[in-house]
Structure 1
Amino acid sequence: MVNQPISLDQLDARLIGALTENPRRGVVDLATAMGVARNTVQARIRRLEESGVLDGFTPQLDLNRIGVAVMAWAALALEQAELDRVVEALVAESHVMEVLTTTGREDLMVRVAAATHAELQGVVQRIVAIPGVSHSNTMIVLTAPLRPRVQPLLDELTKDAGWGRSTALPVGG
């Protein structure tokens, strides 16, 4: 059963955006920045966590700073009925950062990271050797001009929702 979406307003959107930018930001700082009471921020964060909208607080890593300079996406085509086995093998591969199921010619998009191109080649060879992988196409990431973001989408989704359930939009907000 799919969970019903919860309604968000502009305050929710701004809180999510602020926590996405800096997961360690304190409740008092957020309340001051948003122009609302600390209890309001705490209640909103609790509601967003309990509803599953906020699913943990993850720091943003700069993999280059720890010597992992090569990022790539591997598009994998699978033999029928092998999805679970292939995903299980990908989860066991430490260089796999993310796995997405897709439509189209390929069945999976796999984000991999490595220190060097030679290490990446080894990772790709291990992935291609997984039973059930029938074809792969690897694309090396050159730059990331736009990192994952949520704020523009949240702003669009909440533009007509107002600011808070009982508060007016702050002046200049």
Structure 2
Amino acid sequence: MGPLDRVDLDLLEALADDHRATVVALAERLGLSRNTVQARLGRLERADVFGSFERAMSPAALGFPIQAVLSVTVHQAHLPRITTAIAAIPEVISAHGLSGQIDLLVRVAARDTQHLFDVDARILGIEGVERTETSLVMGEVIEYRIRPLLQMARGASARADSGRRER
């Protein structure tokens, strides 16, 4: 997929405003046909523009009020098998591969501190995991957000459009 154009960015911004908007509502808001919106959404989805469509839920509401981030150091040769084993642990909410001294950053949820200790022990028990360091999540100070990037992309798109018109 090439660069996002103004219509793509308008559509993404509308979805950022109301992620539950229907195709019809998006079409009305943007002054586009339903078919155009449907086609654009399909193209954006095939290009992996969208992340998971799973609704974000509060682990605390499900009985897991404690969240922690585990910095995991592994034996590199075992990384694919280790990530598969970590993905099988239900308390793991997300994991990111990193460059640098830490190999994986794993976010977990737990019922209490003993449960967190047990989750950490399961991760440490995976063959090839060398060590973990656990940090409790005290609160989310910046929620997941995309709007600042959309605004930057819109500015880049406008500059590119301006440059094409000047030629």
Normalised to the residue count of structure 1, the TM-score between the two structures is 0.80
* Amino-acid identity (%): 34
- Structure holding more helix per residue: 2
SS in 1 for 2:77: coil
Give 1:152 shift: 1.2
**Structure with higher RCO (Cα < 8 A, 6+ apart):** 1
Give 1:131 shift: 1.2
Would the alpha carbon gap of residues 20 and 72 (structure 1) be closer, same or farther in structure 2, given more than 3 Å must change?
Answer: farther
Would the alpha carbon gap of residues 63 and 16 (structure 1) be closer, same or farther in structure 2, given more than 3 Å must change?
Answer: farther
Quick one: distance in 2 between partners of 1:58 and 1:16? 17
**Equivalent position of 1:58 in the other structure:** 54
64-73 or 132-141: bigger deviation: 64-73
The reply on whether 1:139 has 2:159 as its aligned counterpart is no
Quick one: distance in 1 between partners of 2:137 and 2:2? 35
Work out whether residues 14 and 151 of structure 1, in 8 Å CA contact, stay in contact via their aligned partners in 2: no
- Which of the numbers 91, 94, 116 marks the counterpart of 2:87? 91
Q: How many residues align?
A: 159
- Which of the numbers 44, 49, 58 marks the counterpart of 1:48? 44
Would the alpha carbon gap of residues 27 and 12 (structure 1) be closer, same or farther in structure 2, given more than 3 Å must change?
Answer: same
Quick one: distance in 1 between partners of 2:101 and 2:52? 33
State how 1:9-88 maps to structure 2 within 5 Å. Answer: 9-20=5-16, 22-88=18-84
Give 1:54 shift: 2.7
Work out whether residues 10 and 155 of structure 1, in 8 Å CA contact, stay in contact via their aligned partners in 2: no
Gaps of 5+ in 1: 166-173
Would the alpha carbon gap of residues 107 and 160 (structure 1) be closer, same or farther in structure 2, given more than 3 Å must change?
Answer: closer
SS in 1 for 2:130: strand
Query: C-alpha offsets along residues 29-81 of structure 1, whole Å, 9 cap, x if unaligned?
Result: 11222233322211210111222223552212122222221111111111241
Give 1:128 shift: 1.2
**Equivalent position of 1:155 in the other structure:** 151
- Which of the numbers 120, 124, 141 marks the counterpart of 1:124? 120
